[in-house]
Amino acid sequence: MESQNLKHRSRDDPRFTTTTSNEKNRANRREKRMAMAKRGLRSLVIAVSFPLSLTLLNIYLFGSGRGYASLAKPFWFPPLWLLHTGCLASSFLMGLSAWFVWVEGGFHVKPTALSLYLGYLGLSMAWHPTVLWMGDSWAGLLVNLAMVGTLVGCSRDFRKVNPIAGNSVMPCLAWAAFLATVNLKLVFL
Domain with residue 127: its CATH number is: 1.20.1260
Note whether 130 and 140 are within 8 A (CB).
Answer: yes
Domain assignment present for residue 49? The answer is yes
CA distance 189 to 180: 14
Domain assignment present for residue 128? The answer is yes
Domain assignment present for residue 7? The answer is no
Domain assignment present for residue 77? The answer is yes
Enclosing domain of residue 156: 16-188
Domain assignment present for residue 8? The answer is no
CA distance 127 to 183: 10
pTM higher than 0.85, yes or no?
A: no
Domain assignment present for residue 159? The answer is yes
Domain assignment present for residue 2? The answer is no
The rounded mean pLDDT for the chain is 84
Question: pLDDT tens for residues 16-39?
Answer: 555 567 777 777 777 777 777 677
Question: pLDDT tens for residues 67-112?
Answer: 677 777 788 888 888 989 999 999 999 999 999 999 888 888 888 9
Compute how many other C-beta atoms are within 10 angstroms of the C-beta atom of residue 22: 8
Report the greatest alpha carbon distance in the chain. Answer: 102
CA nearest neighbour of 65 among 128, 118, 2: 128
Note whether 171 and 93 are within 8 A (CB).
Answer: yes
Q: What is the number of structural domains in the chain?
A: 1
Domain assignment present for residue 9? The answer is no
